[in-house]
Amino acid sequence: MIKKRSLNVAISIVALVWLVSCKQAEVIETPAYRIQLLDSLLNAAVENGEIPGAVAYINRGGEEVYHKAFGYRNLELKEEMRRDDIFRMASMTKALTVVSVMQLYERGLLFLDDDVSKYIPAFKNPRILQEIHEDSSFSAVSSSRGITIRQLLTHTSGIGYGFQDDKYNSLVIKHNVSEGFEDDDRTSMENIQRLAELPLLFTPGKKYTYGMSYDVLGVVIEVVSGMRFDRYVKHYILDPLEMTDSYFIVPVDERHRLVHIYQPSESGLIPTSYPDTAYPVLDHRRFFSGGGDLQSTAEDYGKFVQMVLNKGVYKQKRILGERFIEMMLMKQTMLESWNAEQGFAAWVTTEKGAARGPMSEGSFGFGGFWDTYSWADPKGDFVAVLLLQMYPANREWIHYKFKNITYGLIEDL
């Protein structure tokens, strides 16, 4: 009898231990635990001086599951970051430029294989760079072909960015070409006509190089639509998507929400040494870069990415046809790809890329110069946005850490 009672007690203890261990496992797998991990990641990054502040946003299936602010929008004044603070989105503007071009294509107002000289005659008979001389003059030969809209969309036009190459930058400076973030009163057309005077880096379609192609597209949009680029985007994208906190020039009464930019240094975070940061508040501007001039919030930009994930629809409003969104996210060049294929403004994760993880096949993302990033995963049905304001970018792989924890959160919801 005593042995039987002892056996029952032993069984009860084993059952209790098993139950406790199961409950501990349940705790580890709950969304609350993952949210604590996200909070800890970003709070620690602020406390350790790795980043000045951040806003993070996650939406799954159209429902917000995470939206928090961390740190400061102004370190010197200790102004705390808020969820609706405004960030310079830089190259994340390019995704809106793609949608604008595809809207015009959908309406039959342009074709993707049109020569850009049809809309901007200065690009007729382009030349290919041979050599840049010490006095910043150059030698070039005639190109065997012109530049198409599709090549602009895929950065295979031969047009580069000066900040990526000192010699090429000498041509950009000599011809007074703005690469965005401008502070004078030039128009977009004036700027692009100056760009058209420069030689191409290679024959269009032969290679990939990240450059000012999307600034050219911004002018194409102006020519075809008859609207200034920023006004077109507001009317056909920002307003329908209810992106009410997104601007090309931030209104005076909202400028206190514009986040300051910092850079890492040996002594900690200091204001960025990059000179051209005032462009969001310059009322006299007439040049609006199709490659980088949007200011937005985490939630607002999440709406845009959600629309792309929804294949062109947001809250029952059709922004762009489904087939045209599919084209945007399909392989668009014959150039070799590995972990991701090149669509329009987006690199889309391949099966090989998915194996390297954690993004699923078909996931796509958009990033910006000032350390901003967003992506969407069709398999997980979610959108994530993490916005910082740093240049040079943070050194601590914050975006990658955020991404990994986000996938754990999504899986546990």
* 61 found inside a domain: yes
90 and 370 Cβ atoms separated by less than 8 Å: yes
Residue 181 forms part of a structural domain: yes
Say yes or no: 279 and 378 in one domain. Answer: yes
Last residue of a domain, one of 180, 210, 225: 225
* C-beta of residue 180 within 8 angstroms of C-beta of residue 148: no
* 293 lies in the same domain as 397: yes
* 390 falls within a domain: yes
Q: Is residue 260 situated within a structural domain? A: yes
Residue 25 confidence (pLDDT)? 45
What confidence category does residue 13 fall into, taking pLDDT thresholds of 50, 70 and 90? Answer: very low
Q: What is the pLDDT of residue 6?
A: 52
For the beta carbon of residue 142, count every other beta carbon within 10 angstroms. Answer: 8
Whether residue 269 is found in the same domain as residue 134 = no
Helices 93-106 and 213-225: angle between axes, nearest 10 degrees: 40
325 occurs within a structural domain = yes
- Smallest CA-to-CA distance from 246 within 367, 85, 390, 391 is with 85
Does 212 lie in the same domain as 145? yes
Same domain, 101 and 86: no
311 has pLDDT over 60: yes
Which of 190, 225, 260 is the endpoint of a domain? Answer: 225
CATH number at residue 185: 3.40.710.10
On the question of pLDDT at 308 being above 50, the answer is: yes
Residue 243 lies in a domain: no
pLDDT at position 353, please?
A: 96
At 9 the pLDDT is: 46
Q: Give the tokens for residue 102.
A: 């595809």
Query: What whole-number distance in Å separates Cα of residue 54 and Cα of residue 203?
Result: 41
Does residue 21 carry a pLDDT above 60?
no
User: 101 and 83 share a domain?
Assistant: no
* pLDDT classification of 164: cutoffs 50, 70, 90: confident
Classify strands 63-74 and 79-80 as parallel, antiparallel or unpaired.
antiparallel
Q: What is the pLDDT of residue 8?
A: 55
Residues 124 and 194 in one domain: yes
> What does the pLDDT read at residue 337?
81
pLDDT given for residue 29 in this prediction: 54
Rounded mean pLDDT, 69-94: 98
Between CA 218 and CA 209 the distance in angstroms is 18
Q: Give residue 47's Cα distance to chain centre.
A: 26
Note down the domain range covering 380: 31-91+250-412
Question: Token pair for residue 92?
Answer: 């994340």
Residues 67 and 112 in one domain: no
Q: Collapse the DSSP code of 85 into the 3-class scheme (helix H, G, I; strand E, B; otherwise coil) and give the result.
A: coil
Whether 15 is covered by a domain: the verdict is no
| 115 occurs within a structural domain | yes
Label residues 169-199 b or e (16+ Cβ within 10 Å = b).
Answer: bbbbeeeebbbbbbeeebebbebbbbbbebb
Average pLDDT over residues 55-78: 97
DSSP class of 202: S
Q: How many domains does the chain have?
A: 2
**Mean pLDDT, the chain, whole residue set:** 93
